[in-house]
Structure 1
Amino acid sequence: MILDHKKYDLFGKTLIQKMVLKPPFKFTFPVTDNACFIYILEGEMQYQVDDEQIDISNKHSLFLNCINSGKQISNSNSSNNNELVVVNFHPSILKKIYDKELPLLLQSPKNKISNKSIERINNDFLIQKYVEGLLFYFDNPSLVNEDILILKLKEIVILLLQTQNVEAIQVILSQLFSQTTYTFKQIIEAHLFSQLSIEELAEQNNLSVSSFKREFAKLYNDTPANYIKTKKLEKAAELLSVSDERITDIAFNCGFNNVSNFTRSFNEKYNISPTKYRLSKNDK
């Protein structure tokens, strides 16, 4: 369950987040074209990607891209709350703030060591101090502005350049700027919770609408509209169970264009309203 969630946006996209999570919890990262730096302030978590599990302890961090699906953080053992800070690296924002030339960390390495997409970063004094600085701004939101957020993003780029993990981090970040060829499924998963139409999804896959629907049926044994709506509703049900977000916000975050449409669809699937569903989960 999410006990507390604060975030700051830059140029319309989430840049920095601070979350307090109550175990047991499980969070699956959506497929997106960004990377993120996760720092564990309190507690410990397990990071699962495919069949591999990585334990992340207090004051340690993880760096990963979200181009591929299957990544998940969880904690089912601890009785103490977990607290973490997340910094997102969006390629469009990085290009905008480094308008002349991307720094070394964001350029493709000459000797590419692997195609790895995750790297655990051990306790680093400078990064720890950086996170402490972020906490100051979460405690003093009136001081936060666009210039401060750009400065903090550039600061973490500089600090990551100085860690022992720089080569792996460079590989992960460079993937955001490479000409990646996405599979059909990756494109679908990347836009599950968006408000893109079937026509726009077909265009993303360079297919006609009829060809897109045929390919979708082959892979998912369902229609695009039904499959995507089902996934949106399942995600909404999960958020209603574990977070205190407003139902309106959950509806839009899960890709519904209005609350009445969300409520009607939720009732049809679960035979209960979103409000009553949340209450039933909180009573357990």
Structure 2
Amino acid sequence: MIINRDFFDLDGKVIIEKVKFLPPFKVSTRMDNEACFLHILNGESELFIPQEKISAKSSDSLFMKCGAYTNFWKGNKDASHNEAILVHIYPDILKKIYDNHLPTFLTENKGNSHVTAERLKLSPMIQNYTASLNFYFDHPSMVTDELIQLKIKELLLLLVNSHFSKNLSNMFCNLFNPITLDFKKMVATHLFEDISVQDFANIAGLSLSTFKRKFQQVYKVSPKKYINQKRLEKAHTLLIETDLRITEIAYDCGFNDISYFSKSFHSYYKKSPSIYRKLEKESNRIT
């Protein structure tokens, strides 16, 4: 639940914003013609993109090019609010700022970017930059269109001239060019995460109906049936080959409800997880 949101806009678009919200909180968004810098002032999140899951915490920063994102903000142990600063970057705003003469780091092709987002290394420069934004949120009357444009330029130069990430230079020259979705790789990457079919669709940047139709075409089975089967097969392997507790196995395989996991396992293997493990161990001792 969003508690408070302050922002500065330019040409009718929100450019810099500061958001305070109560976790747990899930945000799914598709940025078709936008890039974004996100700095976490307080909180912890897991950002899901097609290629991976990126964990971030207080003082961490993320840079995201155009693409589909699902961000799971975790609850805090002290029940405190989460807070983040975001800077949104649009192609038409960049053209305005640079008077249609974009700098080479935004146009020079340095190879394709294989990821849509990167977590940036902790740096005093980023901390100073976000501190300056905090100052302006405390003194909004000082903010002008010219200042907003300068803060965008400052951010881009700060990132491009620092070694926060090896992928940033490739991302900059392809900010608004989407990466082709590798559907099967995306499914395999997140198969054992505690996420729903709807979340898979959000990560892929597809509607639920389109995702289900695509999944059926690729795997010849419904996503719910396939995902459940693969998670149960992994659980079966862990039951036999490890001494992990059943609750740990359930969580490792993407089940957050132990009762549902046990019921699903019994339905698939005709025995409860504990009985199945016990019988397998007895069988191995005999042989």
**TM range, smaller chain:** 0.5 to 0.7
Conserved? CA contact 1:27–1:73, under 8 Å: yes
Letter of the 2:117 counterpart: I
C-alpha RMSD over aligned residues: 2.7
- Give the aligned partner of residue 83 of structure 1: 83
- 1:64 deviates by 0.6
- Residues 1:152 and 2:151 are matched in the alignment: yes
Q: What TM-score, normalized by structure 1, do the two folds share?
A: 0.59
Unaligned runs of 5+ in 1: 184-215, 222-284
Counterpart mapping for 1:107-186 below 5 A: 107-110=107-110, 112=111, 114-165=113-164, 167-176=166-175
Distance 1:158 1:31, change over 3 A: closer
Output the CA distance in 1 between the equivalents of 2:10 and 2:90: 10
Output the CA distance in 2 between the equivalents of 1:81 and 1:177: 32
Letter of the 1:120 counterpart: R
Q: Deviation digits for residues 177-213 of structure 1, max 9, x if unmatched?
A: 55x6999xxxxxxxxxxxxxxxxxxxxxxxxxxxxxx
- 1:108 deviates by 3.2
Output the CA distance in 1 between the equivalents of 2:141 and 2:93: 23
Distance 1:43 1:220, change over 3 A: closer
- Give the aligned partner of residue 27 of structure 1: 27
Conserved? CA contact 1:38–1:85, under 8 Å: yes
- 1:87 deviates by 0.4
Conserved? CA contact 1:105–1:157, under 8 Å: no
Question: More displaced, 44-53 or 124-133?
Answer: 44-53
Whose Rg is larger? 2
- 1:161 deviates by 1.5
Conserved? CA contact 1:46–1:55, under 8 Å: yes
* Residue 74 of structure 1, aligned match among 67, 72, 75: 72
Unaligned runs of 5+ in 2: 182-206, 213-287
Output the CA distance in 1 between the equivalents of 2:98 and 2:166: 20
- 1:49 deviates by 1.7
Letter of the 2:24 counterpart: P
Output the CA distance in 2 between the equivalents of 1:121 and 1:25: 22
- 1:115 deviates by 2.6
Letter of the 2:49 counterpart: V
Conserved? CA contact 2:20–2:83, under 8 Å: yes
Conserved? CA contact 1:38–1:87, under 8 Å: yes
Report percent identity of matched pairs.
34
Aligned pairs, how many? 185
- 1:113 deviates by 5.6
- 1:84 deviates by 0.5
Letter of the 1:176 counterpart: L
